[in-house]
Chains A and B, each alone.
Chain A
Amino acid sequence: MKARLILENGAVFEGEAFGYLDTQVGEVVFNTGMTGYQEVLTDPSYCGQIIVMTYPLIGNYGINLDDFESNSIKAKGLIVREKCAFSSNFRSEFELEQFLKHNKVLGIEGIDTRALTRMIRSRGTMRGIITTEDLSETEISSYIEDYSSKGVVYAVCTKTIERYNGLTTSSDEQHKKVALIDYGAKKNILRELLKRNCDVTIYPAWTSADEILKDQPDLVFLSNGPGNPEDLAPEIEEIKKLIGVKPIVGICLGHQLIALASEGETEKLKFGHRGCNHPVKDIGKNRVYITSQNHGYCVTKLPKDFEVTHVNVNDGSVEGMRHTLLPVFSVQFHPEASPGPRESDYLFDEFIAYAE
């Protein structure tokens, strides 16, 4: 069945529908990772977005039950040049198509994804509709106008407090208590913390500072998540209450929220950073690491008393910052990888070193 992507600039890309037949509106973004489509689809940070994979063959190694970053697809749609109907990998348990269908997500294949990527690159991120229906002009504009990324964090974060114990059960003093505030956390953040013997409590995004402090965590960890950080004013207020009280670290959205809570500023990037090949320099180590990235916003004004710890080698944007006096440290990229290079997982050790 034919399906179309209609962008807010009027451009239309036609391809073949697969997965769940539907109409959805979302922000159309591209990801340049050559592997990792399963992690990308289930990454809560993609909530509200329609993902274009620049690598042309998607689905080659199928879908397995181990590589989820959340328990379902969070993206609104998937656009590929060619989906693979016959996967091959020892862990493949589902084909991509069926996985999309049962998650009620529309995929479109047969799109010139390079043409689309170039358009997004030059025009910036746009809203778009994916549909198998014939929509009228007015339907199209009402869909586009109705789109908002507000509330995406609440849609994807945990609704209840969840508690996990570190992987080794021996009751040595290694166990740190980490309060992970979930704005759409990827599962691998939890896995990395547990691997390092942290006892992790996951709180919904809206949890008050008081409630968190009641549990007496050694470290507050602000997770990644979707959307515009400026939309999270109440959460920012709670973070303000935690700064200087507890050590705070953050990844991606968590990093942006720390900036906003400390009078820094964030801005939307033209088309974001999404992929597995972004070079980031760790200024302290004077080393460049290839990182996994997924963000549409970035910190453009460093808060007072903060210093830049990491910088993007390509565009010079802030990739990490640290308070010069207080125990506050965050990075824009994803040291938890999944997908992408694992070489910055040393940062989890640095995060945990902040724990009291």
Chain B
Amino acid sequence: MPLNKQIKKVLVIGSGPIVIGQAAEFDYSGTQACQALREEGVEVVLINSNPATIMTDKEIADKIYIEPITLDYVIKVIEKEKPDSLLAGMGGQTALNMALELSEKGLLDHYNVKLIGTKIEGIKQGEDRALFKEMMLRIGEPMIQSEIVTDVLSGVNFAAQIGYPVIVRPAYTLGGTGGGIADDEVSLKAIIVSGLSNSPVGQVLIEKSIKGWKEVEYEVMRDANGNRISVCNMENFDPVGIHTGDSIVVAPSQTLSDKDYQMLRTSALNIIEAIGIEGGCNVQFALNPESFEYAVIEINPRVSRSSALASKATGYPIAKVAAKIALGYGLDEIKNAVTGVTYACFEPSLDYVVVKIPKWPFEKFFKAERTLGTKMMATGEIMAIGTNFEAAFLKGIRSLELGQYHLKHKKFMKLPLTQLKALVMKADDERIFALAELIRREYRLEQINAITGIDPWFLDKLKWIIDQETHIESLKLEQISSDMLRKLKRKGFSDKGIGDLIGISPEEVYDYRISLGIRAVFHMVDTCAGEFEAVSPYYYSSYETIDEVTVSNRDKIIVLGSGPIRIGQGIEFDYASVHCVNSLKRLGYETIIINSNPETVSTDFSIADKLYFEPLTEEDVLNVIEKENPIGVVLQFGGQTAIKLAKFLSERHIKIIGTDFEQIDLCEDREKFDAFLESVNVNRPTGKGVMSVKEGINIGRELGLPVLVRPSYVLGGQGMKICSNLIELEDYLVDAFIKDKKNPVLIDKYIVGKELEVDAITDGKNVLIPGIMEHIERAGIHSGDSMTVFPPQTVSDNMKQIIVETTETIALRLGVMGMINIQYIECEGILYVIEVNPRASRTVPYISKVSGVPIVDLATKVSLGMSLETLGYGTGLYAQPDLIAVKVPVFSTHKLPDVEISLGPEMKSTGEVLGIGRTYAEALYKGFIAAKNAPDIEKSSRKPVVLMTLNDEDKSSISEEDLPDTFDYCATRGTGVVLLSHGVTAIRVRKIGNEAPNLLDLITNGDIDLIVNTPTHGDDTKSDGFIMRRAASERNIPVFTSIDTYRAWNYASKIITSSSETDIYNMK
């Protein structure tokens, strides 16, 4: 069927803030979908609360609403824009749930909006476990023995019937939140309780555990005509039991015979036919490794993380094709963009192997429970392509940026076998290295298969790698023959990996390799295994014989992406990289992107002129540079991942476009930076770098406590802490020097003040400051985790002037070219600098959108030598926007067991939303609503109950203004006394451990709507505060751990009591 001409205006719902289980992949798919719709002349109206996305750019949609994705605001958009259709399959679970809610309330009919793509009935059948099970039964597709329960007792009874272990899966949640595997009745009860409260419909599925079965996924598509294809299948390295988002995944499947493969493919196609999918769908199977027995685990009737991965793995643009299908096209009417001659109705054939490895946040949350299970915990992932499994796998390992270039991991080398075995059986984020060590010690592969369920095929491949590593260690470089080195390179060994094993530098291996004429070549990802001539500019490296890249004679610039998404380095950097590419394209350069993250817009092969899907390591980046010979490389938009390469590139005399290595180093080397600030007369909190515990204690005494301590060279406040006494300081220092003896620990005087931040652009002569951001929480909370308002609300004109002057001084005197981000503290009228980053920061997307200054575009232009004065946005502080924007961080801590919730100098948030308003209160209100991290008073059926437990400092600062009579209060004894002194009678709560009802009981019973808990110490998993915060988080009860956040919320909710008092704003 051709284009449905009745579709003229489509509302697209985005996925909102980045959380674990719902990340950048929906910006990729949403952006692709919006573009596909507009290509057909359809008007696109977009709603997404996440400002750090490409899809909310003015180039992507016709109307852009950066508004909360809640029923109220979606309705406001529908009423204002009157779209005729809704596309809900692009914004993950968030959009799908919204579509269901709209439909169930009859609002789609009411507003005459047609859902395009998969119909509501299909979505329900795919999402509702009972309906899905019924459907599978009807079409004869096997499922795992299971039952849906809505209460604990039925669950326990059913488990007794089918036998333990059982898996608990809550309905309608993303990333399996609140689920888990239960080995006995006690653990089952606990998991059911958590699952029921996480499921918006109060349902959980109890199912027979099929641990050890293979997990296989199919990405399939169907059009309204019933044409069906399988785009890609994938085999999980980790068997069933570990969430696929936390599994190493290989595409295509490796250990399935054609019969196995076709059996599951047929099943997947039958399922989407029965459900009536119109677009993309993901089908997950469990396959008994000993027979043809299989079971359908679940489906996702929409694009997903897996479909993004499949798109990047095959070159097949699933989201784009899904959008075209939604408009009425048949698969056989949509051109294959990769070949330009064939159609979308075919199945990609791969002639390479793809490996995906998750990236977990445990570098940040080292105290968290890291055991992997049915709940997804990874924040991001990398993908690697190779001509064999080993090559893709080793590329993948080094793409993770763990400092691992081979499988030998220091941490596991000294562990006893029993411990290694336990680690391998338990499966955590570092399991792969424990596994490698166990294989190195010649533990029998068959037995590893028995205890882990990992297929022997994968184990055999790992063993080959490990055997080579052991062999290499016994050799000198010149003993490695040309044939052997070529073989190692073909199998993905890096120069650094080989060098480390021999004990020499990677440069020596590189020089030797080049002397033997062994160089990387590049192949095309063409969807068809070379059968047709392809036009896709999408490449990966190998050490085979032919190179398929045609190097043009145009001026080329390489833009480095930012690798896997992790806390502190998220989607914002992908946004900046993509904008840089667009800017360079407009300037007439040939653009080349290198990145390893399959979830992103930047790795869509239609973004840059060429895409190299490669690890962002020195060697892999150099390979591309040697091939393409660009005029320069842009680092400043790729976060710390790209910046880290500055030294290497500089040593190789490769031009860095924008700020050069010396200036970058000046910002990151503490001593040089201090000297610099002194030379330009800028204040910073006094402090010093120390190299020993003793020295640190002395400095701590000298500065006076509290002090802020952190390791040098950091991003996202990794390992940062505020120490309020010498014992804490000593503990920190001892721990830090165990981890890293070579680099200093920095100790600063901790200044409590107002935190301010600027992103600025400089051409070396002038500085443009698009805006000053004011943090709502006082200093001490990581800038990524604090709420921020732009333009500032409480900064005097005089102070603004000081900020502008100081920013100009720093930017110009440092010699920065392009982007600079500076964080300040204002304390008693004095401005202190706390951090300078000579690169784009995570605030760039939102400031660009609110201020209207195309920051990345300007920064790209000045980096190439253009003058700010000629670019049309002036210099100095840019005019304040009419609208006020409040950025609110969003956390995924409830998905990570044992992670501290209270905010501090360590960044914890995974995403952010923006609240936009004419007034500060309106912006705040919408920010809180969008982030869903404060009680929704409007929807509350009772007077909200606030539980307060405050630290001494906050006790003394609290006033009647903080305690409006619109709430009821509960408090622990000390705080209760203070409240009483302000005329507020709070219900006294007993501490945890005391007789019921105590603090924990109130939380568990749902008697509390908000917790305001300002802790004295964080991170102590045994403390009452910690237990209380975790309990609240797991039950989705909002917790404010800074009195400033509470005050902001209190302020907003006094002025605005209902969403009807707020407006929506088209950001275009």
Contacts and interface: CB of A to CB of B under 8 A. Distances in A.
B349 A61 contact: no
Contact of A32 (B230, B253, B531): B531
B995 interface: no
Interface stretch (A235-243, A250-258, A334-342): A334-342
Contact of B256 (A61, A114, A115): A61
Interface stretch (B6-14, B452-460, B973-981): B452-460
Given A61-B256, A121-B533, A342-B262, A32 B460 contact: no
A67 B258 contact: yes
A309 B412 CA distance: 63
Interface residues of A, number: 51
A54 interface: yes
Contacts of A275: 349, 529, 531
Interface in B221-271: 225-230, 252-262, 265-266, 269
B258 A114 contact: no
Contacts of A86: 456-457, 460
A276 B457 CA distance: 24
Interface in A3-37: 30, 32-36
Nearest to A36: B258
B290 interface: yes
A337 B262 CA distance: 10
Contact of B347 (A90, A118, A276, A342): A276
A278 B225 contact: no
Contacts of A118: 530, 546, 548
A60 B291 CA distance: 17
A57 B531 contact: no
B259 A67 contact: yes
A313 interface: yes
Contacts of B523: 114
B79 to A, nearest CB: 40
Contacts of B548: 118
Contacts of A35: 252-253, 256-258, 261-262
A114 B546 contact: yes
B369 to A, nearest CB: 32
B331 interface: yes
B387 interface: yes
A51 B22 CA distance: 44
B530 A89 contact: no
A56 interface: yes
A39 interface: yes
Contact of B387 (A34, A81, A121, A337): A81
A265 interface: no
B343 interface: yes
B332 A281 contact: yes
Contact of B353 (A56, A112, A339, A340): A56
A208 interface: no
Interface in A237-284: 275-279, 281
A216 B227 CA distance: 39
Interface stretch (A136-144, A158-166, A175-183, A286-294): A286-294
Interface residues of B, number: 56
Interface in B383-438: 387-389
A49 interface: no
Given A89-B257, A112-B545, A287 B343 contact: no
Contacts of B457: 60, 84, 86-88
Q: Find the residue from A39, A281, A290, A340 having the highest chain B CB count within 10 A.
A: A290
B255 A88 contact: yes
Contact of A279 (B289, B332, B544): B332
B999 to A, nearest CB: 53
Contact of B346 (A30, A112, A277): A277
A86 B545 CA distance: 26
Interface string A76-99: 000001101011111100000000
Interface of B: 225-230, 252-262, 265-266, 269, 289-291, 330-332, 341-343, 345-353, 387-389, 455-457, 460, 523, 528-533, 544-546, 548
26 contacts: A32-B351, A34-B261, A35-B256, A35-B261, A56-B387, A60-B254, A61-B256, A61-B260, A67-B258, A84-B457, A89-B256, A90-B291, A112-B545, A115-B545, A121-B530, A275-B531, A277-B346, A277-B347, A286-B225, A287-B225, A287-B226, A313-B332, A313-B343, A340-B258, A341-B266, A343-B269
Which are the 10 A-B pairs with shortest beta-carbon distances? A88-B457, A36-B258, A54-B529, A339-B258, A277-B347, A117-B530, A115-B546, A35-B258, A32-B349, A112-B545
Interface of A: 30, 32-36, 38-39, 54-57, 60-61, 64, 67, 81-82, 84, 86-91, 112-115, 117-118, 121, 275-279, 281, 286-288, 290, 313-314, 337-343
